Amino acid sequence: MHYNMVEELCTLHTNLSDEDVQRINEIVVTLPLIADLNKANVFVDCPTKEGKHAIVVAEAAPTTTKSVYKKPVVGKLVYEAFEPSVFFTLRTGKPMFLNRALTQEGKTVDQSVVPIKASNNRIIGTLIMEKDISEQVRYQQKMEALSEATETLSEILIGMTEGRSIIPEVIEEALFFIDHEGKVLYCNPAATNLTQEIGEGNFKPGDLLVQYFPIIKKILSDPEELLVREVNILNKVFQIKKITLGQQEKSNGTFVIFKNITELREKERELIVKSVVIREIHHRVKNNLQTVASLLRLQIRKGLPEESKVHFVESLNRIASIASVYEIILSNSSVDDVDIYRLIEKIGNMLVFEAEHENKKVSISYSGPPHLLIKSNKAVSVALVINELIQNCVKHAFKSMNEGKISVLFAQNGNEIEVQVIDNGEGYSPKSKDSLGLEIVGMMIEHDLSGHFSIEPAETGTIALVRFPIDREVVEE
């Protein structure tokens, strides 16, 4: 196994870090054993930089049975159209078992895919196992059946049978079937219309396809049996698929399929522009909040009546908590998602740091699942609630104590997110219910989060409990 090649391919074609590549190499070491044990070809695929495709960075063929592949496939691109299971696993992190796929050499295999994860649970690649669907004694029979089906399909498409298949006639994609010389043997109505619309010249069956679409000459001359490319023709974007039919050294012809994806790409560009605008809005909101916070800090430093200072500090913390939401958004690749763990940790650390300036030694701990995401509009309400609850602990729980401990626990329970803020302070007093902070918590929970809030004494200290439902705006990675 050439580990240098793995590193070279990852560096050239992916956005993986050195740590990610090291993790990939740890998997690559085991590939020969996995291949022999399962009597299957195994591969490691990693997502490419642009995210549209994947690339094979390592492979191992079994020595305990015949390999599915004749040629090495390391360094070749993987297309979603032919291996959807790989891309499903890359996007979701969920394994897929015994799904049908087309190999790089055009064979049909049973494919199983499991994700390869980095230390932070991020998906960095997939481990793939492929077995030929034909087994032992039935191998020759199934290959003959596959060959007969391929020849029959070719005959239907080029009009050699008495009947005429309606399937290619009604599909929206422009479908051409060409021989080994590139001559058009068959084309469906969509293909005829496409040739008349943007092709160069008046189309006649038997002509060379490149005569009408010179831009695909390189695609047709490529030795790969399966190929997907995007090309621009007369200000339109087309996805072109090339599928060569055949078995072993015999070719029965090639499908060339044109799919107009101009509208799709325009929508993608619009989404990118909208995403940039949204991020710019988030950036400006964060800057404005930080400006307001800076003005409050300046006013506090200039001097305030002692009875007013505490209200300024509380307002400052509330503004800083809301700003934390937008700081987290801007540090993520997502446009509008906030990691609850990071949000709670950021707010808690800020408030405990403030307490240290008042000569109180307060420690805080956090417990909850990482990567539990919530949309920014809900995150602002959650930030204010968490700020008030932790600030309430810092302000009231340890009045006659020099040190204390706060624990913040959160979890997803069924259809709800539950957050607990627990302190080991002096205990809860019912009079505290009249404080502005708890009024803010009650209002946010009831009106913005449609949830439930309770606060009560514990064996030592106080427990504040917040529950709010998970709806379409809350997802877990």
pLDDT confidence band for 21 (50 / 70 / 90): very high
State how far the Cα of 199 lies from the Cα of 211, in Å rounded to an integer: 8
Domain range for 155 is 138-260
Q: Which of 133, 157, 191 is the last residue of a domain?
A: 133
> pLDDT at position 427, please?
77
Per-residue pLDDT tens over the stretch 300-329? 777 777 777 777 877 888 888 888 877 777
Q: Among 100, 133, 166, where does a domain finish?
A: 133
Using one digit for the tens of pLDDT, what is the confidence trace for 166-205? 555 557 888 888 888 889 888 888 888 888 877 655 677 7
Question: For the CA atoms of the chain, what is the radius of gyration?
Answer: 31
Q: If we measure between CA atoms, which residue out of 179, 261, 190, 280 comes closest to residue 220?
A: 179
Assign 3-class secondary structure to 139-203.
HHHHHHHHHHHHHHHHHHHCCCCCCCCCHHHHCCCEEEEECCCCEEEEECHHHHHHHHHHCCCCC
Q: Which whole number is the average pLDDT over 452-457?
A: 88
* CATH number reported for the structural domain that contains residue 10 in this entry: 3.30.450.280
Q: What pLDDT, on a 0 to 100 scale, did the predictor assign at position 134?
A: 57
Residue 148 φ then ψ, to 5°? -65, -40
Q: Predicted confidence band at 352 (pLDDT cuts at 50, 70, 90)?
A: confident
CATH code (residue 148): 3.30.450.20
**Which residues lie across from 111 on neighbouring strands?**
99, 130
Query: 60: buried, middle or exposed (CB in 10 Å: 19+, 13-18, 0-12)?
Result: buried
Distances (CA, A) of 475 to 79, 332, 371, 412: 28, 16, 9, 10
Convert the pLDDT of each residue in 231-286 to its tens digit: 988 888 999 999 887 654 556 788 999 999 988 888 888 877 777 776 777 678 77
In a shared domain, residues 95 and 181: no
Are 52 and 91 part of one and the same domain?
Answer: yes
Residues 248 and 145 in one domain: yes
Determine the average pLDDT of the residues in 204-223. 87
278/248 same-domain check: no
Specify whether 247 is located in the same domain as 295: no
Tell me which residue has tokens 């191992």: 60
Percent of the chain with pLDDT over 70: 82
Same domain? For 94 and 205 the reply is: no
| 310 lies in the same domain as 223 | no
Is a pLDDT exceeding 60 seen at residue 141? no
Report helix, strand and coil shares of the chain as percent, to nearest 5.
45, 30, 30
3-class DSSP state of 467: strand
| Average pLDDT, integer, range 325-337 | 70
- The SS3 call for residue 352 is helix
Strands 108-117 and 96-102 come out as antiparallel
pLDDT of 136? 45
Mean pLDDT score across all residues of the chain: 81
Structure tokens at 57: 């960075």
How far is the C-alpha of 304 from the C-alpha of 448, rounded, in Å? 33
In degrees, rounded to 5, the angle at the alpha carbon of residue 251 between the alpha carbons of residues 246 and 255 is: 75
Token pair belonging to 170: 């009604």
Per-residue model confidence (pLDDT) at position 152: 55
Q: Are residues 247 and 184 in the same domain?
A: yes
Same domain, 305 and 346: yes
Residue 119 shares a structural domain with residue 142 = no
Taking 90 as the threshold, does the pLDDT of residue 42 lie above it? yes
Q: Tell which residue, 452, 470, 402, 393, has the closest CA to residue 427.
A: 393
Q: Which of 111-125, 144-158, 161-175, 262-276 has the lowest mean pLDDT?
A: 144-158
The pLDDT score that the predictor gives to residue 472 is 44
- Side by side, which strands form the sheet with 361-367? 361-367, 403-413, 416-423, 462-469, 452-457
Residue 135 has pLDDT above 60, yes or no: no
Pair (112, 10) in one structural domain? yes
Instruction: State the pLDDT at residue 169.
Output: 58
Q: Two tokens at 295?
A: 């003005």
- Residue 150: what pLDDT? 57
- Kindly state the percentage of the chain with pLDDT values over 90: 19
Give the model's pLDDT for residue 474: 40
Of 116, 133, 150, the one marking the end of a domain is: 133
CATH of the domain at 372: 3.30.565.10
Q: Is the pLDDT of residue 138 over 90?
A: no
Query: Can you give the pLDDT at residue 28?
Result: 92
Please check whether residue 234 is in contact with residue 159, taking contact to mean a CB–CB distance below 8 angstroms: no
Strand, coil or helix: 34: helix
Tell me, yes or no, whether 282 and 234 share the same domain.
no
pLDDT in tens, 386-421: 888 888 888 888 877 778 899 999 998 877 889 999
Number of domains in the chain: 3
